[in-house]
Amino acid sequence: MEQKDVNGNKCHILLLPCPAQGHINPILQFGKRLASHNLLTTLVNTRFLSNSTKSEPGPVNIECISDGFDSGGMNAAPSRRAYFDRLESVGSETLFGLIESLRSRGRPAHVLVYDPFLPWAMNVAERSGLRSVAFFTQPCAVDTIYRHVWEGRIKVPVTEPVRLPGLPPLEPSDLPSFVTDSDPVVNPDLLPLLVNQHKNLDKADMMLINSIYELEHEEFDWMESRLPLPVKSIGPTVPSTYLDNRIPSDSHYGFNLYTPDTTPYLDWLDSKAPNSVIYVSFGSLSSLSPDQTNEIASGLIATNKSFIWVVRTSELAKLPANFTQENASRGLVVTWCDQLDVLAHVATGCFVTHCGWNSTMEGIALGVPMVGVPQWSDQPMNAKYVEDVWKVGVRAKTYGKDFVRGEEFKRCVEEVMDGERSGKIRENAARWCKLAKDSVSEGGSSDKCIKEFIHQCCK
Ligand code: UDX
């Protein structure tokens, strides 16, 4: 499906993520999918991230803009708000400059696919004469909540159960944490970032959501009914080799902000029986308290099962003393892994996850039953859907606000792997896994949406 402009230039799509692992991964994979349709795609990264990571040569080009913190990125900013303010002022100008420079280099851009965490990007697209398309990295259900806040239908903080159009009945504990959390330090910085995703949105050419229509069709239908623009599902953004149950030999599928551990964890998995290993990961940002880390460690030991636990380098000191050495015969602690390789491995029987949306989609797409231990942001709502809507796992019960005890951790893992409901959960997981694969196959719901995007935005 080749599209060219009046001067014969191939349609060129710029992809602008929020500079964080969970946002770069899906937009980059979407770019790869577009490249397979013979379109020119370019990931726009910050100078800091580009200089501090090794990018794999692939079908998606890489260009840089400045976030105003070229030598330290987000960690160099005095606060999140200060970071995003500066990213807006410096990023707008450098993005405009990049678009001009691409034009003068004979590679004019036609479409800007932007992360709505950066709503100012659509003004740059407008100023530069590009089409603009918002790429939402969280599920439609969560986007629906923020739409309700944006339209004034929900007053924050929510303290009572809610019944809202397009959504199942929800308890406050099921909602994104920023909507219920009255923490004065977190909310002033982060709630506006999430709600302002809807700022300018009506002026965009299209809204893309990294999800699958069938997973949340009522939410998609509601969103489409509220907006004057097409709303399209384009997920899962998991490379098709994994959906075909093949772990590619060169498994560098993304843009890693963390260096993968050199432990030969795939060889180790090869030595384990099918569905016998617990994989535990809390994504790229979550930071557990030392007490919570300790409870998970004791819960893991109590299951008596093999495990791989991702504990990022910055979190290692929270592990109980000698944990790694004492459990070496049945468990591995790695500082970062190629998560899709682990999830796609036949030995992996359970995914203990914080329910970040990428991890949740990856678990669904690869058919791995899950235990949700949500931490913040969209994660409680994703965990609610995992347990009650898609029924592909269970959500750990908390003691107090968000503390999960070791016994509860063990109970959940056993329920998912061997308990009464485990058969049904595995059956559901296999069903959604097939649906995920079908959705991006020729004629599937996401495949059709991707083709509509190309047809409408690259003409
Ligand atoms: C953040 C938010 O926390 C999340 O709730 C939101 O939906 C997206 O942005 P993060 O916490 O990093 O993301 O979680 P997640 O969305 O799951 O993304 C993590 C990504 O890192 C996944 O694509 C996962 O495959 C990858 N990963 C994680 C690895 O490749 N290796 C690891 O060892 C751990």
Q: Residue 1 has what pLDDT? A: 56
Cβ-contact 400, 277 below 8 angstroms: no
Active-site option among 23, 148, 345, 354: 23
Q: Tell me if 22 CB under 6 Å of ligand 1.
A: yes
Residue 310: which H helix or E strand, with range?
A: strand 306-310
Query: Ligand 1: which of 269, 359, 360, 361 to mutate, judged by most atoms within 8 Å of the beta carbon?
Result: 359
Buried b (16+ CB within 10 A) or exposed e, 361-399: bbbbbbbbbbbbbbbbbbbbbbbbbbbeebbbbbbbeee
Write out the two tokens for 42. 């370019």
Q: Tell me if 353 CB under 6 Å of ligand 1.
A: no
SS3 101: helix
- 107 Cβ contact list (under 8 Å, min separation 6): 9, 12, 40
Q: Residue 428 has what pLDDT? A: 98
Distance CA 289, CA 66 (A): 33
Q: Tell me if 356 CB under 6 Å of ligand 1.
A: yes
Enter the pTM of the model: 0.96
Q: Which residues pair with 394 in a beta bridge?
A: 371
CA-nearest residue for atom 27, ligand 1, is 339
Tokens 């580009």 belong to residue: 50
Distance CA 143, CA 164 (A): 13
Nearest to 348 by CA among 289, 254, 286, 433: 433
Q: Residue 4 has what pLDDT? A: 74
Q: Residue 244 has what pLDDT? A: 82
Q: Tell me if 138 CB under 6 Å of ligand 1.
A: yes
Establish whether 37 is a catalytic residue: no
Q: Residue 386 has what pLDDT? A: 98
The structural domains of the chain, ordered by start, are 12-254+440-458 (3.40.50.2000), 265-436 (3.40.50.2000)
Local confidence pLDDT in tens for the 459 residues of the chain = 557 777 778 899 999 999 999 999 999 999 999 999 999 999 999 999 998 887 776 899 999 999 999 999 999 999 999 999 999 999 999 999 999 999 999 999 999 999 999 999 999 999 999 999 999 999 999 999 999 999 999 999 999 999 999 999 999 999 999 999 767 677 778 899 999 999 999 999 999 999 999 999 999 999 999 999 999 999 999 998 898 877 776 655 567 889 889 999 999 999 999 999 999 999 999 999 999 999 999 999 999 999 999 999 999 999 999 999 999 999 999 999 999 999 999 999 999 999 999 999 999 999 999 999 999 999 999 999 999 999 999 999 998 778 999 999 999 999 999 999 999 999 999 999 999 999 999 999 999 999 999 999 998
Residue 362 CA to ligand 1 center (angstroms) comes to: 10
Q: Residue 246 has what pLDDT? A: 77
Helix, strand, coil percentages, rounded to 5, for the chain: 45, 15, 40
CA-nearest residue for atom 3, ligand 1, is 356
Write out the two tokens for 244. 């075909």
Residue 267 CA to ligand 1 center (angstroms) comes to: 23
Q: Tell me if 21 CB under 6 Å of ligand 1.
A: yes
Buried b (16+ CB within 10 A) or exposed e, 6-17: eeebbbbbbbbb
Distance CA 424, CA 413 (A): 15
Torsion of CA 213, 218, 219, 224, to 10 degrees: 80
| Ligand 1 atom nearest residue 337's Cα | 33
- Integer Rg of the chain from CA: 21
Q: Tell me if 281 CB under 6 Å of ligand 1.
A: yes
